[in-house]
Structure 1
Amino acid sequence: MIPLTHSPEVADALSSGTPVVALESTIITHGMPYPQNIETARAVEAEVRAGGAVPATMAVLGGTLHAGLTEDELTQLAEATHVAKLSRADLAVHLTRGGTGATTVAATMIAANLAGIETFATGGIGGVHRRAEQTFDISADLQELSKTAVTVVAAGPKAILDLPKTLEVLETLGVPVIAYGQDELPAFWSRSSGIDAPLRMDSAAEIAAAHRMRAALGLPGGQLIANPIPEADEIPVDDLFPVILQALGEAEDQRIAAKAVTPFLLQRIFELTEGRSLTANIALVKNNARLAAEIAGELVRSR
């Protein structure tokens, strides 16, 4: 039996046909310092509610997978230390052993699918890391997008990644990458990447219809909606590129690898941009939550 529980708010929403948006929890435990993490979590949940949907933040608490957290549980997670970062490979083991764990994009997709939730808002997805031809460091997020039928709204792959290789892998896996409202793939903190997006859609209704059509065709997996950060909040790619290169060089010099890479790089970029990256990160997550709430509403109406 799967140790899965829905928060009262999420359970009521699913039973009444109210739209629900899944949210990850590694942004709380590994993406931001306290208290910005819980402030951002509350703000993102508020954006989902303002869009007419119910937020379902995913996490493992006491060996149980939670679809939606109460205010007390959210606070507990935000203040916790030594929290496991869970993906497809270790989710089952951690549930068996108990303890506290935060869900990555891949684990959140799994949890959302189990909980009956079709839409998920996050910051940026993982992907193919630079020098992956030597390290083979490729996020499980890409495989999960090819397997699990959840529409994921993100500001593109994280800008620390090798974006062309990430797109190539997604294409090989048959994952639709859909830029929202522009022809270019956004690059997390920046609206521009210099890379043409494979697909473009301009409305939540169209995105929801594509989700339903994939199911009708019997196609496995979900779709990635690359939602550009609002123009007023972005860090231009020309400003950010040298900062990313410096952080990557430091990670290599310090032999930081595997799951430790992304948290290290995000922290160093935060320091090198004097906090601008965190401000942009908060803005883009909230923007993604707004779009995801629209899509979730369209999916409910299309049932």
Structure 2
Amino acid sequence: MRGAFVALESTVIAHGLPWPVNFETALAMEKEVKKQGSIPKTIGIIGGNIKVGMTKDELRYLSTAKSVMKVGTAEIAVATALKKDAATTVSATLKLADREGIEVFATGGIGGVHRDVEWDVSQDIIELSKTNMIVVSAGVKSILNVEKTLEFLETFQVTVIGYQTDSFPLFHCRHSKFPVSISVKTPEEIVEIFKEKQRLEIEGAILVANPIPVEYEVPYNELMKYIETAISEANSKRISGKGLTPFLLGRLSELSNGKTLEANIALLKNNASLAGKIAMAMMRT
């Protein structure tokens, strides 16, 4: 597939945000990509059919449909074989975008290693290690065990690059105590590194850590209080697996009186905008 295409995931539509914010945000992300001259391709599964580039009606449907599966790479075939509606996580979106030759993908934050759980590691990291793509995110969600997540990314040889930052962002927060060893200033530099990886036949994604706009940032100490409360509630209710992240993000929004929801929307649009710029830079080189 030739063109300045940007893949967008659909889990944020079906599971990450409430109606009608989910639908409005999906349209807003596509608009941000288009502003940069690129073409958005939101990916999802409807009635077992894989959609790479959903229509407005399909986006609305997935925003309101009941019993929408949340699928990683491992569950794609289940959704298609059983004719289910499904929203794609980072791992599934990576896999399906790669099948279409798309090389740039914008998301919110990738999955990683959960806190206070003996073993809960996202499929996202494995797919990032295998798929040649530029993935723009606001780092990882601060609800995760960030240190272990970064260690897993290093172990699985995922190239992590800070965009105009020396500090690894934490979704709602611009900065953290974790430095990034590689930092770039322009989309063109990201493309140069990606193309060099391709030339050298080094597989795996480039994870671009793009901090949330400063005006929407939630202060770290304030956010940690909300997170500790939400995680404690999740543990008491024995919520785990695919349901854990949506529960935690929902509770954070409630505990912060909507601050984290506003931040979530802002960073999604910001990432879509940067991905659009990268896709256009890719076309020019």
TM more than 0.5: yes
Q: Secondary structure at the match of 2:153?
A: helix
Q: How far does residue 298 in structure 1 lie from its aligned partner after superposition?
A: 1.2
Does 2:9 align with 1:24? yes
Q: How far does residue 256 in structure 1 lie from its aligned partner after superposition?
A: 0.6
Equivalent of residue 290 in structure 1, options 258, 273, 278: 273
Give the TM-score, by structure 1 length. 0.92
Q: Residue type of the partner of 1:193?
A: S
Equivalent of residue 204 in structure 1, options 160, 184, 187: 187
Q: Deviations over 1:84-128 (max 9, x none)?
A: 001011111211111210000000000110111000000000001
Q: How far does residue 202 in structure 1 lie from its aligned partner after superposition?
A: 1.0
Q: How far does residue 221 in structure 1 lie from its aligned partner after superposition?
A: 1.1
CA distance in 2, matches of 1:187, 1:209: 26
Does 2:203 align with 1:216? no
Q: Residue type of the partner of 2:25?
A: T
Q: Deviations over 1:118-157 (max 9, x none)?
A: 000000000011124x2x1000101111001111000001
Moved over 4 A (4+): none
Aligned to 1:125: 110
Aligned to 1:252: 235
Q: How far does residue 79 in structure 1 lie from its aligned partner after superposition?
A: 1.3
CA distance in 2, matches of 1:261, 1:21: 28
Q: Secondary structure at the match of 1:30?
A: helix
Does 2:84 align with 1:99? yes
Equivalent of residue 161 in structure 1, options 114, 125, 144: 144
CA distance in 1, matches of 2:240, 2:60: 30
CA distance in 1, matches of 2:115, 2:22: 27
Does 2:212 align with 1:229? yes
Q: Secondary structure at the match of 1:159?
A: coil
Greater Cα offset, 89-98 or 39-48: 89-98
Equivalent of residue 37 in structure 1, options 22, 27, 50: 22
Aligned to 1:299: 282
1:109–1:148 contact (8 Å) kept in structure 2: yes
Aligned to 1:111: 96
Q: Residue type of the partner of 1:251?
A: A
**Number of equivalences:** 285
CA distance in 1, matches of 2:225, 2:132: 37
Q: Secondary structure at the match of 2:74?
A: coil
Q: Secondary structure at the match of 1:89?
A: helix
Q: How far does residue 18 in structure 1 lie from its aligned partner after superposition?
A: 3.0
Equivalent of residue 173 in structure 2, options 187, 190, 194: 190
CA distance in 2, matches of 1:18, 1:152: 17
Q: Which segments of 5 or more consecutive residues in structure 1 lack a partner in the other structure?
A: 1-13
Q: Which segments of 5 or more consecutive residues in structure 2 lack a partner in the other structure?
A: none
Does 2:44 align with 1:59? yes
1:112–1:150 contact (8 Å) kept in structure 2: no
Q: How far does residue 272 in structure 1 lie from its aligned partner after superposition?
A: 0.2
Give the TM-score, by structure 2 length. 0.98
Identity among equivalent pairs (%): 46
